[in-house]
Structure 1
Amino acid sequence: MVRQEISDEEWAVIAPLLPVAVGRSRPWLDHRAVVEGIVWRFRTGAPWRDVPERFGPWNTIYKRFDRWARDGTWDRLLGLR
């Protein structure tokens, strides 16, 4: 059994609020894996480079976190906007 940071019920609420890749960019790594990695990082307090590979490349996880911080995604998820 793989331990998940976010339950399926929580994910059902979160997923529709996340941005969709548009244009000609490469397909994004699965949002759930990335969000799980972000949650893991903040839960543990570990450096970004120490995020386990099961969540994806650490720099992808960090870049997605940063992009979503700048574009207001996290504010929407947390009900701040």
Structure 2
Amino acid sequence: MDRLSDAEWEKIRHLFRAGAQRPTGRPAADSRAVLDAILWIERTGERWLYLPAHFPPQQTCYAKYLHWKRSGTLDQVRTLLAHAHASVHARPR
């Protein structure tokens, strides 16, 4: 699975700024697509160079990875997703 489910994205989307319009230049990369790429890299252990073409450009993804890692955003994503998965798999007694 390469992509976050809609339910997973809903749990974490508040951590990312809504696609801010830039006054000039290229439009901002979609945060969900970039995060999907980062999670793919972490899950597969592949190098950024081998990021599949259906993800945003590897340079964009790597720059966001560094920014989100330094800011603690990726840690928050992992925590929230782990809690979401734990609650889905918890069985009532």
Q: Same fold (TM over 0.5)?
A: yes
Q: Distance in 2 between matches of 1:70 and 1:45?
A: 20
Gaps of 5+ in 1: none
Residues 1:7 and 2:10 aligned together: no
Quote the sequence identity (%): 38
Shift of 1:22: 8.1
Q: How many residues align?
A: 78
Aligned residue for 1:78? 78
**Runs of 4+ in structure 1 over 4 Å off:** 20-26
Aligned residue for 1:54? 54
Do the aligned partners of 2:34 and 2:56 also contact (CA within 8 Å) in 1? yes
Gaps of 5+ in 2: 80-93
Return the TM-score normalized by structure 2. 0.69
How large is the RMSD of aligned CA atoms in angstroms? 2.4
Return the TM-score normalized by structure 1. 0.77
Q: Distance in 1 between matches of 2:29 and 2:51?
A: 15
Residue type at the aligned position of 2:55: F
Aligned residue for 1:34? 34
Do the aligned partners of 2:38 and 2:61 also contact (CA within 8 Å) in 1? yes
From the superposition, tell whether residues 72 and 23 of structure 1 become closer, same or farther in structure 2 (CA, over 3 Å): farther
